[in-house]
Amino acid sequence: MLGQTAPVTAATARSILRRVQPAIGELVPLRRSPIQGGINYRRLTLWRSPSHGSSLVGIVWTSGQTAHIHSHDHSAVCRRIEGEISVTDFAQLADTRLRVLRHTRIGPSTLTELTEGKTIHVVQNIGSQDAIDLHFCSKRGDGMALRYEALWEKSTFSVGEELEVTTYPDHLPVVLSTLDD
């Protein structure tokens, strides 16, 4: 499946990720990859299509770590391999305003999806151990990944709450890991 020349559909990505169960040794390169981007997570591209730009990316969220509010410049189907995270989703009301939609706890084997430019969220590892994801990502789209900073310091968000934000281009990670080995 991964050798096909046409872009991989979300249905195919879901099918692949449902069947993936990495052996302990297969996760060692991901666990040893460098910490990226000031938010204390590890990211390693495990496979990238030379023909259509899709990729399989492993992500490790260290215990207690929280990302900033952000969107993505690609769509993805994601599967939690181990650990538990909390995701807070937002709706964009205006360029400078977000509303908290929901909080979701995501445990092992759960499939989730994110949509280029539309999924705006915060990810937090709420467990005492690393949380590991596999993301089957589309090629980067025409849009830009964005970072949203609340105008006042916030560590928790209530469903329905509206936030005034400043928006910046999000360049994390600056470079995806290469497959040199």
pLDDT at 175 (0 to 100): 40
Residue 179 pLDDT > 50: no
Would you say residue 176 lies in a domain?
no
The reported pTM is 0.84
pLDDT at 37 (0 to 100): 65
pLDDT at 22 (0 to 100): 74
Distance CA 77, CA 65 (A): 22
Would you say residue 76 lies in a domain?
yes
Would you say residue 45 lies in a domain?
yes
Residue 31, domain CATH:
2.60.120.10
Strands lying side by side in the sheet with 76-82: 35-36, 41-48, 55-61, 131-137, 76-82, 111-114
Range of the domain at 36: 10-169
pLDDT at 3 (0 to 100): 58
The DSSP result for the chain, as a single string, is -TT-SSPPPHHHHHHHHHH----GGGGHHHHHSPEETTTTEEEEEEEE-TTT--EEEEEEEPTT-BPPEE--SS-EEEEEEES-EEEEEEEEEETTEEEEEEEEEE-TT-EEEE-TTT-EEEEEE-SSS-EEEEEEEPPP-SS--EEEEESS--S---TT-EEEEEEEE---SSSPPP---
pLDDT digits (tens, 9 = 90+) for 81-130: 999 999 999 999 999 999 999 999 999 999 999 999 999 999 999 999 99
Would you say residue 175 lies in a domain?
no
Would you say residue 99 lies in a domain?
yes
Would you say residue 179 lies in a domain?
no
pLDDT digits (tens, 9 = 90+) for 27-62: 778 888 877 766 678 888 888 888 888 888 999 999
CB 48 within 8 A of CB 54: yes
Q: What's the total number of domains in the chain?
A: 1
Range with the lowest mean pLDDT among 31-40, 74-83, 146-155? 31-40
Would you say residue 5 lies in a domain?
no
Would you say residue 4 lies in a domain?
no
